Amino acid sequence: MPHNDLPEGVHRVRRKTKNVDKFHFYAWRGGPKFWESQVRSPRDPEFSVAFSTAVKPRLAGEYMTPQMVDDFLDSTAMPQGARTQADYRKWALRFASEFADDQAKMWEHPKSRGELNEWRAKWKSSPKQHDYAGTVAVRILNWARDEGKIATHFCDRLHRIYSVDRAEIVWTEADQQAFKDAAPSWVKRVMTLACETGLRPADLVRLTRGNLESFDGIDRFRVRTQKRGRVAHIPVTPELRRLIDETPTDQLVLLVNDRNKPLRPTSASRAITRYRDRIADKLSDPTLRLQDTRGTAATRLLRAGLGLNQIANHMGWSLRYAAAVIEHYAAVSPAESAEVLDLLEREKQRREGKTVNAIVNAPDGAKRGES
């Protein structure tokens, strides 16, 4: 939006209301709001006075917290994923707004930790948001310290109140069948692709035939994941092959909605939730969500010949967590329990054997921990 009709630096935001649009004016992007009006370009003398007052600290040469946030948002320290960037920007601007009148060097004082905790306590009723607010704030402060914007800060290792362990929440065979019986075909495809690949929603909706490759006579998907930027190689199982073959040749991505439009990650997750709610009384857990298909997928990948370390790397899990999820899935899915548990035990023994051999074959100095 052109701002040549405003003083340099002013950030204007239009807020739609039921009856009329209003404009909010900020001293700079992420800075304090100093004016509100129905007029797009105010000419009142009071507008200029309010603006001058709002920018006085900045004009005086003080490096303010909102300026620090602006610099961070323009830096290479911002995460790469589009969704994560949007989330970071939202929370960074909230942080800047809360501490708009504070100099950046305030964070060099121990008491600032209490002020940050007081701010994020606004979201204590939503533990995930409470912790995310602190995560973004600390990321900004770490960047500022590393760049020499501030000498230090006292907000490392903030206490967290969000805790979740969904290792024992998986879509069983019965859950999947009940869901597919109730869902339309385009939603069934979301479930199938998620269960067979273990990809997060942001990666699922981007899958195309272009991700397919053949290696040693085996078809697989080659995907660079958005969250960690890792390359995942996912074997094409018989179920995946059927899904690919059923996809119209003129359809670019594998997943589309009921209007044949590409799905967004949030739309895919909401679709699963919507049809899950309709059969909640038939499911092993009424809180099942799209991401919980990853336990199913980990089991599929083990059966397809991937090792625990490969599965853990693909899922972004520890080896212990990957083994726990697969073991639990097998335990609650009788049709697969014997085979999967046998494969898991063999994989654990193989890894233990490799560890023992590595120790036995290590040089004497390495065995003693010498450098």
Give the SS3 label for residue 192.
helix
Q: Rounded to two decimals, what is the model's pTM?
A: 0.57
Length of the chain: 371
| Interhelix angle 238-246/185-197, nearest 10 degrees | 140
Host H or E run for residue 215? strand 212-215
Question: Which structure tokens are listed for 343?
Answer: 């494969």
> Could you say which of 3.20.20.140, 1.10.443.10, 1.10.540.10, 3.40.640.10 is the CATH number of the domain covering 173-357?
1.10.443.10
- Tens digit of each residue's pLDDT (9 = 90 or more) over 240-283: 999 999 999 999 999 999 999 999 999 999 999 999 999 999 99
Please say whether the beta carbons of 191 and 180 come within 8 A: yes
pLDDT over threshold 60, residue 354: no
13, pLDDT greater than 70: yes
Give the side-chain half-sphere CA count within 13 A for 35: 29
How many Cβ atoms from other residues are within 10 Å of residue 296's Cβ? 25
Q: Between the CA of residue 128 and those of 117, 125, 135, 162, 216, what are the distances in Å?
A: 14, 9, 10, 5, 44
Confidence of residue 88 (pLDDT cuts 50, 70, 90): very high
Give the pLDDT band (50/70/90) at residue 356. Answer: very low
pLDDT single digits (tens) 194-241: 988 888 899 999 999 999 998 878 888 888 888 777 788 888 888 899
The mean pLDDT value for 11-24 works out to 85
Distance CA 137, CA 155 (A): 9
**Burial bucket for residue 107 (CB in 10 Å: 0-12, 13-18, 19+):** buried
**pLDDT by residue (tens digit) across 111-157?**
999 999 999 999 999 998 999 999 999 999 999 999 999 999 999 99
Half-sphere exposure of 355 (CA within 13 A, CB side): 7
* pLDDT class of 163 with cuts at 50, 70, 90: low
Question: Do the beta carbons of residue 178 and residue 286 sit within 8 Å?
Answer: no
**So what's the pLDDT on residue 292?**
87
Mean pLDDT score across all residues of the chain: 84
What are the extents of the domains in the chain?
Answer: 1-61, 64-163, 173-357
% of the chain residues with pLDDT over 70: 88
